[in-house]
Amino acid sequence: MARFPLFGGATDTSRRIAEADSVAVIGLGRFGSSLALELMAGGTEVLGIDADAEIVQALNGELTQVVRADSTKAEVLGQLAVGEFDRVVVAIGTDITASILTCSVLLGMEIPVIWAKAVTEQHAVILEQLGVHHVIRPEAEMGRRVAHLVRGAALDYIEIERGYAIVKTPPPSRLHGIPLGQSGLRKELGVTVAAFKRPGEQWRNADAETVLGPDDVVLVVGPTRKAEGFAQLR
């Protein structure tokens, strides 16, 4: 397994990246590469690390620096100045052992914020027990999100945490033509209209004086069941 960069220059390059608005992403499969490219699109510099030479070559020029390396070795990550990054994402999904060992090494390097992808519930438990700051299960979380969309009339659904969500939906007819402050919405249904969008316009924050129409779309915030219940209203 290679221990030095195939692309992107020497360790000094990694150190320079670490000093900028930057993230190191370890594991450049579908999830990791998508995350890394989205970070780049948002202006964040990215050091990408993967054990697969073909993946590394495919991303050459797409990320600030991309290297082939064994992330389970502390000396390798040290040579790449990973310890100088404030934020590291471990997106390894095909090798649970490598994921766990990599996270263990990063925790030993006292990285301030570590995000890690878990592919099973047991994997997630082990990462949490290690002390990983943020453990995510993209497939499970996406499955829950799609289930909520399939079940209801919501146009989109984001779970902030278990039991609390933001739902994108058309407003029910009972809200058309009256200020939100007079609707009794929060008291009756336990949700809040946080923002609204009219056709051809940008999103705007909603307030007590906001009057909605049949062609508008709203973002409703509240307990998951109540927010979904709101989306079912007509």
Looking at residue 7, its pLDDT comes to 41
Split at pLDDT 50, 70, 90, the class of 10 is very low
Q: Which residue has the higher pLDDT, 154 or 123?
A: 123
**Per-residue pLDDT, 139:** 85
Q: Is the pLDDT of residue 54 over 60?
A: yes
Relative to beta strand 192-197, strand 217-223 is antiparallel
Average pLDDT over residues 126-134: 97
Distance in angstroms (rounded) separating the CA atoms of residues 135 and 122: 12
Q: Tell me phi and psi for residue 156, to 5 degrees.
A: -160, 160
Q: pLDDT at position 151, please?
A: 66
The larger pLDDT score, comparing residue 31 to residue 16, is at: 31
At residue 128, the pLDDT reads: 97
Distance of CA 113 to the CA centre of its chain: 14
Q: Is the pLDDT of residue 161 over 90?
A: no
Question: Cβ neighbours of residue 115 under 8 Å, at least 6 residues apart?
Answer: 87, 88, 89, 90, 132, 133, 134, 135, 136
The pLDDT value recorded for residue 3 is 35
Instruction: For residue 150, name the pLDDT band (cuts at 50, 70, 90).
Output: confident
pLDDT at 8: 41
Indicate yes or no: pTM above 0.85: no
Residue 13 predicted with pLDDT over 90: no
Q: Is the pLDDT of residue 153 over 80?
A: no
In the prediction, which pLDDT does 6 show? 44
pLDDT surpasses 90 at 148: no
40 pLDDT exceeds 60? Answer: yes
CA–CA separation, 106 vs 69, rounded Å?
A: 15
Q: What does the pLDDT read at residue 123?
A: 96
Find the mean pLDDT for residues 164-179: 93
Q: Is the pLDDT of residue 182 over 60?
A: yes
Q: Which residue has the higher pLDDT, 233 or 47?
A: 47
83-118 confidence digits (pLDDT tens): 999 999 999 988 999 999 999 999 999 999 999 999
pLDDT in the model for residue 21: 81
Nearest to 8 by CA among 64, 84, 79, 80: 64
What gap in Å lies between CA 120 and CA 156, rounded to an integer?
25
Which 3 state secondary structure label does DSSP give 221? strand
